[in-house]
Amino acid sequence: MTFDNVSLFPMGSKLSENGTLTVGGCDITNLAQKYGTPLYVYDENTIRTMAKTFVKEFTSRYESTVVAYASKAFLTKAMARIANEEGLSLDVVSGGEISAAISAGFPASRMDFHGNNKTPEELIYAVESGVGTIVVDGFHELNLLNQLASSREIVQGIMLRLSPSVDAHTHGHTTTGILDVKFGFSIESGESTTAIRQALGSTNLDLKGIHFHLGSPIFELEPYSQAIDTVLDYLAPFRSEGLNLREFSPGGGFAIGYMRNQPPPPISAYAEVITSMLIKKCTQLGFDLPKLIIEPGRSIVGRAGVAVYTVGVIKDIPTVRTYVSLDGGMGDNIRPALYGSEYEAVVANKMTVDTGHEIVTLAGKYCESGDILVKDVSLPTLESGDIIAIPSSGAYCLAMSSNYNMNPRPAVVMVKDGTSQIIRRRETYQDLIALDV
């Protein structure tokens, strides 16, 4: 038996005979009882299938592709191990992400370190840990990194992050490839030309290639081809100055489905547009085909994760709105408050109830009126104690979570073929004051 929103939930999600939601062969209502709520449930098979899909769809079109999981979307030791086992590289953006991945046995040599303002301490840590590539984002970093590498008598592999002035039409907070952003060396302003020349002349830096990232989530294909076209045209003349483009990265940003009526393009469509444009431009301009590095984050883990909450207070304001308050909210998912992001929701213990639907608003428990997770959703009549499941919650929810109002962060459970395992325990009140001195 299936249900309306099934394509937003982890692969293989089903209805049980009792009319409850199962994910990874586990009944969500049982998981809620066993581990408590709010709870984040990740389906291991979905994560692995997405990783394999990216590898297959890209390498079948362009053999020399590396898939680097953007760990900012969701990182735990278990996640780093899965990425490693699937043969992915890792896109990291802080010393903390490097450290967490190393502690899970992820080789630093397969990490690409991004960020618009890496601190000196982070750069030293990355260099000394043997991080394979540092994606340099500004002149201060370019100077500092060359000095750090020189004083250690090493040559550090780098890419330069360029900003190609291509608008990927994402939310204003998540567009990163236009002129007016903090990221990267702008082509339009001319600073990328200075940066490429400086990098080529830096004795302790090995400029392996060029990177850009347009934003996230990108539902259109055209921005990728437009940016590849622009950037390769721009780079061609630098070959006479010594640029050897061995690596090329158009970043990540591949969309996932959040709402039933807004399906993303399939991975194969992104793969087709990126690889065909890269091959076309390299052939046209006489470049040897570089290693292609893609950086999916959201699209690897987004669908795999389900947020699970318990209904508490229900406040009905006649003719205005019914607020149904949950035991989590903006502390574990800031995206609706930050970006106006929309989600679907189901009642995990009433999946087959199709009478008495009402339009309600699912609110969080945090002290902000803007702490709304899902506005105006049609659900069966709710009672306190019902279990709400929000799909597409695997990316940028826990990763951006906070202890606002001194609420402990939720536990995280990995499910697979009918078994469940805690991969991150629920925070305790003790954890909340553990750093106070």
Ligand X SMILES: Cc1ncc(COP(=O)(O)O)c(C=O)c1O
CA separation for the pair 164, 235 (Å, rounded): 11
For 356, the token pair is 């008495």
Q: Which range in 8-16, 66-74, 80-88, 369-377 contacts ligand X by CB under 6 A?
A: 66-74
* Residue among 91 and 327 whose Cβ is closer to ligand X: 91
* Residue among 28 and 159 whose Cβ is closer to ligand X: 159
223 binds ligand X (CB under 6 A): no
Fill in the amino acid letter for 412: V
Query: Binding marks (x or -) toward ligand X, 230..259, rule CB under 6 A?
Result: ---------------------xxxx-----
156 binds ligand X (CB under 6 A): no
Number of residues that bind ligand X (CB under 6 A): 18
Min. distance of Cβ 303 from ligand X in angstroms?
Answer: 12
For 17-80, where are the E strands, in sequence order? 21-23, 26-27, 39-43, 65-70
Angle between helices 95-103 and 77-85 (to 10 degrees): 70
**In sequence order, which residues have a C-beta less than 8 Å from that of residue 375 and are 6 or more positions away?**
342, 361, 362
Min. distance of Cβ 51 from ligand X in angstroms?
Answer: 13
Q: Does the N-terminal peptide bond of residue 38 adopt cis geometry, omega within 30 degrees of 0?
A: yes
73 binds ligand X (CB under 6 A): yes
Fill in the amino acid letter for 323: Y
* Residue among 58 and 366 whose Cβ is closer to ligand X: 58
303 binds ligand X (CB under 6 A): no
410 binds ligand X (CB under 6 A): no
User: To 5 degrees, how large is the angle CA 234–CA 240–CA 243?
Assistant: 65
91 binds ligand X (CB under 6 A): yes
249 three-state secondary structure: strand
- Provide the 10 A C-beta neighbour count for residue 430: 8
38 binds ligand X (CB under 6 A): no
φ/ψ (deg, to 5) at 377: -110, 140
* Residue among 116 and 276 whose Cβ is closer to ligand X: 116
Q: Which positions from 105 through 124 interact with ligand X, judged by CB under 6 A? A: 114
| 367 annotated active-site | yes
297 binds ligand X (CB under 6 A): yes
Min. distance of Cβ 73 from ligand X in angstroms?
Answer: 5
Fill in the amino acid letter for 13: S
CA separation for the pair 128, 108 (Å, rounded): 10
Q: Which of 217, 328, 336, 410 binds ligand X (CB under 6 A)?
A: 217
List the catalytic residues.
367
Residues that bind ligand X (CB under 6 A): 70, 72-73, 91, 114, 213, 216-217, 251-254, 295-299, 395
